[in-house]
């Protein structure tokens, strides 16, 4: 019996221990956690151990770095990157490259490194290219003139004719000579800018200083020499309505703000005589600078009949931005006036007269010298405003390829001028919706737009790291149709995302 009671009693004690075991474990766990917590909390309750407060240490991320971090950048493109398969490219482009309404798109995509054609939709067909024409002018300017060349605007003085032998001249003419810079500014030269790089106020101050040093005091008559450009100032291929709307203006070898009254207003009508307008701005600067030198300025600005004499003395000169900088501006803003001016200056650099005809011939000649096939190409102007221009998508893709990968490295200067999708130039307000946002920052292309024409030619690095060049051109389109521009942008975005296996 007792053995039975003892066993039962032992089992009871064991049962009690088992039942109390979880409570025991919880108590131990609380003690373990409480000790370090108390150590952390106690300084806040009792104060610091020492009597003197220690200064807080500055976090490492707020300290001045001991050395600069290693610069990071994008790795160079590798020719080992996979070339897209033509069928894969077609599978991406065919569904999106469709017109909204009438007309049709032609298109060419090439591998930039090898020239392999990856997509061809009537790529050899002649098309109206609109402002994609400026790509041809850009290449021709960089080859024919040179990327680092500048245009000079100078002031010369004819020998002074004394009223009587030994007497000082009471009046003297100074001649503002146009040298092809149509990006003049009215104020001081701004060397950090392209538009206004050369300033007429700076030129006026230099002129006054030269006259002062010569001892001349009296009235100064401003004449303008714009004889560098010859032939008609307007291209007969242009629609007069486009000229009236400010798309372009009569061409002269000097102008303020690319022949604009206000450089910020790119849609307003332009001055119809930019040479005289520049002369008047120069005369105003001369008047402001000449009072302290004892000079006065005749109120009227007159066009010089002929050219300055051979012994005319140079009083002052200012230099334009480089040709490469002007090319970049032309491509970014699609400026027709600047494009036509560069065309004429290409002719001048080749020893030809600066006419419409010579400009067109000079551009085509430079393309042929580069090895770009010009068969069937028609250049009615060099800005793309004329509807008589005819260039194929294949010819444009070859031009872009010459810029990105060609042997003539001078053409690389044009790369910075291509507008960047969603960020700069004429692509700054595009690639912002869901269908094209993935192309933002990746697609770089020259735009072109006329009433029934739209074009996009440029380059993109695809998802595999392969550089592709492309040209898409739409002709005969329904005016005002909203879907044509997004179609081109969506097609370029598809290339950017292309693995295209």
Q: Phi and psi at residue 157, in whole multiples of 5°?
A: -125, 130
Q: For residue 383, indicate whether it is catalytic.
A: no
Q: For residue 471, indicate whether it is catalytic.
A: no
Residue in 353, 359, 355, 425 with CA at minimum distance from that of residue 141: 359
Question: Please, are residues 127 and 475 in contact by the beta-carbon 8 Å criterion?
Answer: yes
Half-sphere exposure of 100 (CA within 13 A, CB side): 13
Report how far residue 277's alpha carbon sits from residue 259's, in angstroms, rounded to the nearest whole number: 9
Total count of residues recorded for the chain: 501
Question: Please, are residues 390 and 127 in contact by the beta-carbon 8 Å criterion?
Answer: yes
Sign of the torsion formed by the C-alpha atoms of 303, 309, 310 and 313:
negative
Residue tagged active-site, from 131, 324, 457, 471: 131
CA dihedral 22, 28, 34, 35 (to 10 degrees): -170
Instruction: Identify the burial level of 107 via C-beta atoms within 10 angstroms of its C-beta, where 0-12 means exposed, 13-18 middle and 19 or more buried.
Output: buried
Half-sphere exposure of 132 (CA within 13 A, CB side): 34
Residue tagged active-site, from 173, 189, 334, 392: 334
Q: For residue 134, indicate whether it is catalytic.
A: yes
Question: Please, are residues 102 and 305 in contact by the beta-carbon 8 Å criterion?
Answer: no
* Residues annotated catalytic, as ranges: 131, 134, 334
């Amino acid at each position: 019996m007792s053995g039975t009671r003892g066993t039962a009693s032992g089992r009871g004690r064991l049962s009690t221990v088992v039942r109390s075991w979880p409570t025991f474990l919880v108590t131990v766990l609380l003690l373990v956690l409480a000790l370090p917590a108390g150590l952390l909390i106690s300084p806040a309750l009792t104060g610091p151990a020492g009597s003197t407060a220690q200064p807080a240490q500055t976090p490492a991320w707020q300290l001045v770095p001991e050395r600069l971090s290693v610069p990071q950048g994008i790795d160079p493109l590798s020719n080992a990157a996979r070339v897209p398969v033509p069928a894969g490219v077609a599978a991406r482009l065919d569904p999106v490259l469709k017109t909204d309404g009438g007309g049709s798109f032609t298109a060419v995509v090439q591998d930039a490194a090898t020239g392999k054609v990856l997509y061809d939709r009537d790529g050899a067909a002649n098309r109206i290219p609109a402002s994609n024409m400026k790509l041809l002018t850009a290449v021709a300017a960089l080859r024919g003139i040179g990327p680092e060349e500048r245009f000079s605007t100078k002031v010369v003085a004819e020998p002074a004719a004394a009223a009587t032998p030994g007497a000082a001249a009471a009046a003297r003419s100074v001649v503002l000579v146009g040298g092809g810079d149509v990006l003049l500014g009215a104020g001081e030269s701004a060397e950090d800018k392209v538009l206004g790089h050369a300033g007429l106020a700076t030129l006026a101050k230099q002129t006054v200083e030269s006259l002062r040093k010569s001892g001349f005091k009296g009235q100064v008559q401003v004449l303008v020499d714009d004889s560098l450009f010859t032939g008609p100032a307007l291209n007969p291929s242009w629609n007069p309505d486009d000229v009236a709307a400010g798309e372009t203006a009569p061409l002269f070898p000097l102008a303020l703000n690319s022949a604009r009254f206000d450089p910020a207003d790119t849609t307003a009508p332009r001055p119809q005589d930019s040479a005289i307008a520049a002369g008047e701005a120069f005369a105003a600067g001369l008047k402001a600078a000449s009072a302290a030198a004892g000079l006065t300025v005749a109120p009227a600005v007159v066009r010089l009949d002929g050219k300055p004499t051979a012994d005319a003395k140079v009083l002052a000169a200012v230099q334009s931005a480089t040709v490469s900088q002007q090319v970049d501006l032309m491509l970014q803003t699609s400026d027709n006036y600047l494009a036509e001016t560069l065309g004429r200056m290409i002719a001048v650099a080749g020893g030809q007269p600066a006419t419409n005809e010579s400009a067109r011939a000079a551009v085509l000649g430079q393309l042929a010298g580069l090895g770009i096939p010009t068969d069937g190409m028609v250049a009615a102007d060099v800005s793309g405003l004329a509807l008589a221009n005819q260039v194929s998508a294949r010819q444009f893709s070859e031009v872009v390829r010459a810029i990105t990968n060609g042997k003539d490295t001078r053409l690389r200067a044009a790369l910075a001028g291509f507008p960047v999708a969603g960020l700069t130039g004429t692509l700054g307000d595009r690639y912002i919706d869901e269908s094209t946002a993935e192309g933002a920052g990746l697609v770089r292309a020259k735009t072109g737009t006329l009433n029934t024409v739209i074009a996009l030619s440029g380059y993109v690095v695809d998802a595999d790291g392969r550089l592709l060049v492309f040209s898409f051109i739409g002709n005969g389109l329904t005016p005002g149709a909203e879907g044509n521009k997004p179609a081109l942008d969506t097609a370029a975005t598809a290339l950017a995302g292309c693995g295209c296996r």
